Structure 1
Amino acid sequence: MSWLILGLALWSGAHFFKRVAPQARAAMGARGKLLVTVLSLLAVVLMVIGYRAADFTPLYTPLPGMGHANNTLMLVSLFLFGVGGTKGTLYPKIRHPMLWGVVVWAVAHLLVNGDLASVVLFGGLGLWALISMLLINRSEVWLAPLGGRGLKGDMMNLVGTLVLLGVIAMIHQWLGHPVFMGTYS
């Protein structure tokens, strides 16, 4: 569990650095971006190792049928991740679509995983995303972006979402956690 917590702390620290110490981060220039990238990758590795190695300590039992809710929320989450890149109809309407995608992803996984390691990982990343939105909103005025691709962007995003969901399902299957078979862990 300590590797998982260290990974979460490293992820949060690397991402909060720009918001907590903007002058120090700006002074680092491109080296700062590289540092955040390296720390983020290391954090992901630590979170994966820590999560996979953690003892199963049940905290609650997920309700029956939550697997379907999880799958639906994952579609929403992945779609939100693509909003900024494909610039569809939601692009000028949603601030922080990727961070909202993380929140939806976290909720989806908490619906089907009731163990301590899952609550720490998914709850921790969901909390990080919410705090990130608060910090960004406090420090920057949002000017809704103009333009975009409209429905074409939405269709591009939908296709990308479905492909990515398929890849994620295959990875989960490979790891022993099938996502469409009614077995969730």
Structure 2
Amino acid sequence: MSLLVIGIALWALAHLFKRLAPDARAKLGTPGRGIVAVLILLGLAFIVLGYRAAPFVSVWTPPSFMVHINNLLMLIAVFVYGMSATTGRLRGKMRHPQLTAVKIWAVAHLLVNGDLASIILFGSMLAWAVAEVVIINKNSDWDRPEPGNAKKDVLLVVITLVMFAVITGIHAWLGVWPFPG
């Protein structure tokens, strides 16, 4: 479990570094991006290894219908995440689509995972995403981008469905079938 906690701490601190210590981050210059990227990847590796190795400690048993809610929320999370890259009409509808997607992803997984490692992982990621949004909103203004072509939103829907299928496939490959039998 400690590897999981170390990974989460590395992930969060590396992401928050430029917001909490902007002068220190600026002093690192362009090479600082590489350092931060390595810390994020190291944190992610620790998270995966720590989560997979964590003992199963049941805290609560989610009701089976939560799987359907999780799947719907995950589809929404993939779509919202994609909004950050769209150049369609939806561009600019939301200030923090990636962080909002992380929050939706975390809540969705908290609904279907009642073990301690999952609560630590998904709860921490939810807290991190909320903290990021609060800090960004407090420290910077936002210039809403102009909406683009609606055809790009149709493309976003198609990409969302493909990515959802890929994510489902990865879960199945890892031994977690995301759809009830």
Q: Fold conserved (TM > 0.5)?
A: yes
C-alpha RMSD of the superposition: 1.1
Q: Which residue of 2 aligns with 1:162?
A: 161
Report the TM-score, using the length of structure 2 for normalisation: 0.96
C-alpha distance in 2 between matches for 1:97 and 1:28: 28
Q: Which residue of 2 aligns with 1:131?
A: 131
Deviation per CA, 1:17-68: give whole Å up to 9, x if none.
0000111112222111111111111111100000000011111111221111
Name the amino acid aligned to 2:49.
I
How do 1:11-50 and structure 2 match up within 5 A? Answer: 11-50=11-50
Structure 2 runs not aligned, ≥5 long: none
Asked if the contact 2:17/2:25 (under 8 Å) is kept, the reply is yes
Name the amino acid aligned to 1:10.
L
In the alignment of these two chains, the number of paired residues is 181
Structure 1 runs not aligned, ≥5 long: none
Q: Which residue of 2 aligns with 1:70?
A: 70
C-alpha distance in 2 between matches for 1:93 and 1:147: 8
Report the alpha carbon displacement of residue 156 of structure 1 after superposing the two structures with TM. Answer: 1.6
Name the amino acid aligned to 1:84.
S
Deviation per CA, 1:75-107: give whole Å up to 9, x if none.
100011110211333321201000000000001
Specify the SS of the correspondent of 1:86: coil
C-alpha distance in 2 between matches for 1:106 and 1:89: 27
1:11–1:46 distance in 2 versus 1, CA, 3 Å: same
1:81 aligns with 2:78: no
1:176 aligns with 2:150: no
Report the alpha carbon displacement of residue 167 of structure 1 after superposing the two structures with TM. Answer: 1.0
Deviation per CA, 1:144-183: give whole Å up to 9, x if none.
112433x222112111111111111111111110012x17
Deviation per CA, 1:104-137: give whole Å up to 9, x if none.
0001101100000000111111110000000000
C-alpha distance in 2 between matches for 1:39 and 1:87: 31
